Structure 1
Amino acid sequence: MTDTLSAAAPVSSSTGKERLARRMERGAAFLGSEVAILGGAMSWVSERNLVAAISNAGGFGVIACGAMTVELLDREIAATKALTDRPFGVNLITMHPDLMALIDVCARHGVGHVVLAGGLPPKGSLEAIKAAGAKLICFAPTLALAKKLVRSGVDALVIEGMEAGGHIGPVSTSVLAQEMLPELADQVPVFVAGGIGRGEAIAGYLDMGAAGVQLGTRFVCATESIAHANFKKAFIRASARDAVASVQIDPRLPVIPVRALKNAGQELFTAKQREVAQSLDEGAVAMAEAQLQIEHYWAGALRRAVIDGDIEHGSVMAGQSVGMVTREEPVAAIIAEFMEEAAAALDRRRG
């Protein structure tokens, strides 16, 4: 009789580093990067310097267009191309009034990947992006929406949990990953985001079928980040519980919660909501304009904190992984640390 132990398959002799490379291979090939780490698009932070640094370090940087004008985005892409010859992407907000013109700018510069955030792609936008030869990445807050996006031709998805900084949904990253990866991972590359502060988490999501991850909060304190010293110090001092979600005070306002560090700026946002709600009551603005006013508020409040260093009255957007940000260091060191931790985790599992 054959010994069942001797007949068993031999334990893999590959290293954690090799297994990590295999698990990231699909995502890295899709992005054209060395590692499947996508830079989260953070307004005022994810500009030419940080984006180029992430791409030069083997990741995939993404410009945060946010409320930029067409001319500003044109200059930002050109400036980023002057700092790196590696692939990078551009994140566009679906509600931007000049979305189609921004897509044209990306096409003229040969941007290979466009990320659409803020809702379903408006009519014609998906087709325009694909016609230019770019890959389209969209955020999918629910499984139903994710399936709809895949059917419409989206090339990859980001599933981002409520632990993330900035605009967030109501469901945690771990739940979204469990719900969505088994259904979607074999159809398109899926990148997991929100609350990722160590490489062990990256390894875990890769094991569940993710093609890679998107990281934002940790990169804020990169040496190459232009964020004000006050902004970076606030991150380094903060704990996970300091990053809290904003509150919606009027159900008529389609306010998407924003996660940021607790400060007086949150009271200012409450006042801004009351002001916009009153404008709605008086018929002074339409609903679409009301939403745009809220978005412009966030852009201004974030700029005050990131660029001017006003961390009390500005918006210090941060994910809950901020408690794991302990120092300022180069992007290359951050990515290397994530990769080492992920490889070590896979080594321990020997899977």
Structure 2
Amino acid sequence: MTTYPKTSRLMNRGTDFLGCDYAILCGAMSWVSERNLVSAISNAGGFGVIACGAMTPELLDTEITETKKLTGKPFGVNLITMHPQLFELIEVCKKHEVTHIVLAGGIPPKGSVEAIKGESGDDAKVICFAPTLALAKKLLRSGADALVIEGMEAGGHIGPVSTSVLAQEILPELAADHLVFVAGGIGKGQAIAGYLEMGAAGVQLGTRFACATESIAHPDFKKAFFRASARDAIASVQVDPRLPVIPVRALKNKGTEAFTAKQIEVAGSLDREEVAMAEAQLQIEHYWAGALRRAVIDGDVEGGSLMAGQSVGMVKQEEPVADIIQTLMAESEEALTRR
């Protein structure tokens, strides 16, 4: 087995926390981060994360069960904080003794962190997304065991600040005493080395794994990634300021144009008081879930949503997960050795 002493030393806190060989998490990509990809990443020494997305508790129960059949290594589950059955989903994770739960999509609702940790306080570890330094500190005070800071270069739902700026703001303040993973736009091991040197405990990548051999994504979905450049992955535009829609980064196609029309439709429903704000936002989330499924599963690369980060330009071919991880680690090691 190839060793990467310099990179592993800098990842040590992250690997101890996650229980894996390499502190490389897979971003939770709905329809993509399922049993096959998640187990492959964990088996290759990284840390796979199931994307629960809009799953029902029953579906999540099945997905965790099937993932456990494919790997005996640790893996996590990503839960969306606005999911109407969040606490039931937490109970499913507890039943399966999932070791790490990632909370995404906003500030965790009251009682959710406590529910994950249990009465003992250590049933499972909680990882939260922090788009600002102030929120990062608040989440840590509220019980988060680790943070992911994700820049706007990432695919899917994004914040307004770049990864490099977030890293400069947050890592010097928090990384010495807390576990912080960096995400967004990472496609090469050289970038991993840089963030580790700044104090990151590890990194998270999504786009780089989306087209892995073990990914169930449709061949046409993968081909769209291979053809794309960084500038093709664009962020969606918010149409109505009363409908605060979190921007989504995806490859430009008819689906991105259709989302603008969907926002206008939902905003009209708000005007007519046909839906409450929470329901309106849920409609937007359901739109994305459906559009993403059409692209990933059905191969509708024109009308579906091709969520991708700006690192998509570095994805040129289908590769086994183990090869991707070894390449990233070798690149990081080479960069650290050169320094």
The 1-side partners of 2:328 and 2:85 are apart by 37
**Cα deviation, residue 17, structure 1:** 2.5
The 2-side partners of 1:188 and 1:72 are apart by 33
**Cα deviation, residue 267, structure 1:** 1.2
The 1-side partners of 2:252 and 2:187 are apart by 20
Q: Aligned match of 1:74 in 61, 70, 75?
A: 61
1:205 alignment counterpart:
195
The 1-side partners of 2:325 and 2:301 are apart by 27
* Equivalent residue runs for 1:1-351 within 5 Å: 17-131=4-118, 133-349=123-339
**Cα deviation, residue 153, structure 1:** 1.2
- Equivalent AA in structure 2 for residue 289 of structure 1: E
Structure 1 unmatched ranges of 5 or more: 1-15
**Cα deviation, residue 19, structure 1:** 1.3
The structure with the larger Rg is: 1
- Equivalent AA in structure 2 for residue 145 of structure 1: L
- Deviations, residues 128-178 of structure 1 (Å, cap 9, x unaligned): 001161000000000000000111111000000000000000000000000
The 2-side partners of 1:156 and 1:80 are apart by 23
The 2-side partners of 1:19 and 1:238 are apart by 33
**Cα deviation, residue 186, structure 1:** 1.8
- Equivalent AA in structure 2 for residue 224 of structure 1: E
Moved over 4 A (4+): none
SS at match of 2:79: strand
* TM-score between the two structures when normalised by the length of structure 2: 0.98
**Cα deviation, residue 339, structure 1:** 0.3
The 2-side partners of 1:278 and 1:52 are apart by 43
Identity %: 78
Structure 2 unmatched ranges of 5 or more: none
- Deviations, residues 58-108 of structure 1 (Å, cap 9, x unaligned): 000000000000100000000000000000000000000000000000000
SS at match of 1:260: strand
The 2-side partners of 1:136 and 1:319 are apart by 25
**Cα deviation, residue 188, structure 1:** 1.7
The 1-side partners of 2:312 and 2:338 are apart by 26
The 2-side partners of 1:307 and 1:17 are apart by 36
The 1-side partners of 2:5 and 2:31 are apart by 36
The 2-side partners of 1:187 and 1:83 are apart by 35
The 1-side partners of 2:263 and 2:140 are apart by 35
SS at match of 1:336: helix
Aligned residues, how many?
A: 335
The 2-side partners of 1:56 and 1:160 are apart by 25
SS at match of 1:116: strand
The 2-side partners of 1:169 and 1:67 are apart by 21
**Cα deviation, residue 187, structure 1:** 2.4
SS at match of 1:297: helix
1:12 alignment counterpart:
none
SS at match of 2:4: helix
The 2-side partners of 1:86 and 1:101 are apart by 24
Backbone CA RMSD of aligned residues: 1.0
The 2-side partners of 1:235 and 1:66 are apart by 22
SS at match of 1:19: helix
- Equivalent AA in structure 2 for residue 308 of structure 1: D
